[in-house]
Structure 1
Amino acid sequence: MKDFFYAIQDLFVDVLFAPFDALRALELESWFTANFMSWLFTIVGMVAFIYWMLQLKKYNDNNEEDKSVTAHSYL
């Protein structure tokens, strides 16, 4: 069983996290390059947020939501 967990460790440390180690090595050369994944996730999050807000605006403009006081039983 111990070998199984060491195999998982080797997979993550030596294979899956290797690109992140390469980016970490670039930290002294360029801060922007070293933080590439952070920039990528930030951009993806901003695009998803803008898309979601545009979809909400589209449904709001079509008046598809029931906004009456009795729309929900807890109101």
Structure 2
Amino acid sequence: MKDFFYGIEDLFRALMLNPLDSLRALELESWFAANIFNWVLMIIGAVAFVYWMLQLKKFNDNNEEDKSISSHSYL
């Protein structure tokens, strides 16, 4: 069982987290290059947020949402 967990450790160290270790090496040269992964995730999150808000506005403008008080039994 011990070898199984060492195998999982080796998988993550050698394969899955290796690209992030190479980004850590860039930290001494350029802060922006070292944090490119974070910038990409923030841009994806901002685009997803804008898309979600536009979809909510579209459905709100079409009056497709049931806004009656009795829409839920606990109300």
**Length-normalised TM-score, structure 1:** 0.90
Tell me how far apart the structure 2 counterparts of residues 69 and 4 of structure 1 sit (CA, whole Å).
55
Aligned: 1:18 with 2:14: no
Q: Secondary structure at the match of 2:4?
A: helix
Q: Which residue of 1 aligns with 2:5?
A: 5
Q: Which segments of 5 or more consecutive residues in structure 2 lack a partner in the other structure?
A: none
1:41-74 Cα offsets, whole Å, 9 max, x none, are 1111111111100000000000111223333344
- 1:1-54 deviations in Å (ceiling 9; x for gaps): 111100100000111101000000000100001001111111111111111000
CA distance in 2, matches of 1:73, 1:2: 52
TM-align CA RMSD: 1.1
Q: 1:46 is matched with which residue? A: 46
Task: Give the number of equivalent residue pairs.
Answer: 75
